[in-house]
Amino acid sequence: MRARPVAASLAVLGYIIMIVPILFVVVTAFSAGRTLRFPPQGFSLTWFEAAVTYDPFMESLVSSLYLAAGATVLALLLGVPATIAIHRGKIPGKGLIEGLFLSPLIVPELVVGLALYQQLMIGLGLDNLSTLLLGHTALLLPYAVRVTGASLALADPAVEEAARGLGAGPVRAFLTVTLPLLRPGLFSAALLGFVTSFNNVPLSLLLQDREFRTLPVTMLDYVQQSYNPRIAAMATLILAATVVVAVIAERTVGFARIFGGINQ
Amino acid sequence: MSPAAEFIGVTQRFGDFTAVDAIDLEIPEGKLTTLLGPSGCGKTTSLRMLAGYSRPTSGTIRIHGVDSTTLPPEKRGLGMVFQSYALFPHLTVAENVGYGLKLRKLPRAAVQQKVEETLELVGLAHLHKSKPKKLSGGQQQRVALARAIAIRPRLLLLDEPLSNLDARLRVQMRTELRRIQAETGLTVVLVTHDQDEALEMSDLMVLMRGGKIMQTGTPREVFSRPANRFVADFLGYENFLTDQTHTFSTVRPEHLILGAASDGSAALRLDATVVSTAYRGVDLLVTLDAVDGAGETVRLLADVRAGDGAGLTPGTRTTVSAAAAHLVPIAA
């Protein structure tokens, strides 16, 4: 392979910019001191214990996981059939429909949140949880449509035709041939969607109430009030969980296949 | 015998574009029919309409005498080999071949036996557990063929099946496909743009252009008596001449004789000047200018044995002649 000094340096610089701040957080989490400070004072796991025994964190973590899972499932249930219709169907205005599904990427989330707040909660009188779920679902639709769309665009339409020719009706051909081909795309869309919902602050900030709070917003509230390593410990735990998920994804499906839908 | 399939006034339009223009065609039972023509001639569209993947704008398609124009593909019982092979990448070779059999609710043992027999037929019995991705292009092609044959299709449809293979393999597979067709007795419809492939493999050749059928016949009929200039051109006739009576005719480059051929049997004799020559080892391509019977200057191409053309250089004056049997009258 040819040496590319500029590209290599940029890559290293990129890694440094991304990873170093995270390292500071991780190191601080093991502090024995009482404030968020670098270098940390001493070494202890006290703050991890403090994080996992702190009810607001744990309750909101469960809420966040439920919300992310629910929104991901809903977004896939809506987005995947829409994608198939857009790519394979004979419907007029395909571009417009796809644009509509992708629009949550472009419209600022605060605007979406405010609109949902006005229309669904004030207008229709929907409760916080439903509105939040709908909001997150809308937020994840672009991923469901775009990522599964990318793997659908790569799949040879003749494969489904071949199944039809061999005697499979449209539904069976979809279930036995098209769906298995879309699996990496679906996995990828689910992963991206879940993480996006889990990390979301603006929508959750606007739409949640006291009973149902998501973890990022709870953590945001926490830092505004107390400046101790508990927050760093919680962040480190999330980071660790993310790494585990990433490793599992790499081992089972492989990043090349998950994100191949976009790059290849 | 009644035809295996019929196109009756079949037209296919995509927007303003007429891909297939009111064609009438009978596909004979138990024979290999090729649809031959340049890209965009409507051959693949015709095949897709026959398979049920595309519905004609107008006209009727009958399969074994039954109007099947609007029948979905899964109800037609045809086997199709796609240009891209379209193998199921998540299934093994045996599962690919068994896909159609399973749908027919055959018992497992019967499916397995059928799969083995079919893989045997295409020479792939040893690869039944492999995934398609691990196979070479030629092997994938055989799997696609086996998958289509396994269901004992009423018709076997092949869309440019050999075009993704390298040159040597392509020639081998022509013989192979003919063998399989003979062994199974299947009615085959093959789409190709390669006239050599069509000539070598067909029982019946259908030449298409611009959505219309230009000529139908056995390879010998079509090759020796092209119906019009397009067919002649497509099959490698290079020389087009008009005589005093305004009859239009054509001669193949290898049938033009240079220099004195004075046995009196020649139906054509023109004075000509050599424009250029191209040495090709066995033969020599000679480009000439001549004045034909209608007084027009025409560019001619002669394909002579390299030894016979030794003295020809640009500017050499000579005569060209052709035997009556080789001068083919065609529609202008």
Confirm or reject contact between B114 and chain A (CB < 8 A): no
- 3-state secondary structure at position A94: helix
The B residues from 47 to 106 touching A (CB cutoff 8 Å) are 51-53, 72-74, 76-80, 82-84, 86-90, 99-100, 103-104
Q: Is the pLDDT of residue A253 over 70?
A: no
Confirm or reject contact between B295 and chain A (CB < 8 A): no
- Give the pLDDT of residue B262: 57
pLDDT class for A85, splitting at 50, 70, 90? confident
Tell me the two tokens of residue B321. 């002649």
Same domain, B60 and B91: yes
Interval A88-111 mean pLDDT:
82
Does the distance separating the beta carbons of A165 and B76 come in below 8 Å? yes
Task: Provide the residue range defining the domain that includes A97.
Answer: 5-263
ipTM score of complex: 0.84
Burial class (CB in 10 A: 0-12, 13-18, 19+), A99: exposed
Domains contained in chain A, number: 1
Q: Is the pLDDT of residue A25 over 60?
A: yes
- Give the pLDDT of residue A256: 65
Number of Cβ within 10 Å of residue A133's Cβ equals: 20
Same domain, B202 and B260: no
Report the C-alpha gap between A97 and A114 in whole angstroms. Answer: 23
Mind telling me how many Å the CA of B179 is from chain A's nearest CA? 23
Same domain, B130 and B176: yes
Considering only CB atoms, A168 lies closest to which of B51, B74, B90, namely: B74
Domains contained in chain B, number: 2
Same domain, B133 and B72: yes
Q: Is the pLDDT of residue A90 over 90?
A: no
Give A-chain residues touching B103 at CB under 8 angstroms.
166-168, 172
Interval A222-241 mean pLDDT:
89
Select the more confidently predicted residue: A109 or B6: B6
- Give the pLDDT of residue B312: 85
Give A-chain residues touching B147 at CB under 8 angstroms.
162, 166
- Give the pLDDT of residue A255: 66
Same domain, B115 and B220: yes
Assign residue B11 the CATH number of its domain.
Answer: 3.40.50.300
- Give the pLDDT of residue A263: 40
Per-residue pLDDT of chain B (332 residues; tens, 9 = 90+): 789 999 999 999 998 999 999 999 999 999 999 999 999 999 999 999 999 999 999 999 999 999 999 999 999 999 999 999 999 999 999 999 999 999 998 899 999 999 999 999 888 888 888 999 999 988 999 999 999 999 999 999 999 988 888 888 888 889 989 999 999 999 999 999 999 999 999 999 999 999 999 999 999 999 999 999 999 999 989 899 888 777 888 999 999 988 865 566 677 888 899 999 999 888 999 999 998 888 888 999 999 888 777 788 898 899 898 888 888 988 87
Does the distance separating the beta carbons of B86 and A158 come in below 8 Å? yes
DSSP secondary structure string for all residues of B175-231 = HHHHHHHHHHT--EEEEES-HHHHHHH-SEEEEEETTEEEEEE-HHHHHHS-SBHHH
Task: Provide the residue range defining the domain that includes B307.
Answer: 239-329
Give B-chain residues touching A154 at CB under 8 angstroms.
none
- 3-state secondary structure at position A126: coil
Q: Among B197, B230, B263, where does a domain finish?
A: B230
Prior bond to A157 cis, omega within 30? no
Q: Is the pLDDT of residue A262 over 60?
A: no
- Give the pLDDT of residue A260: 52
Size of interface A-B (CB pairs under 8 A): 65
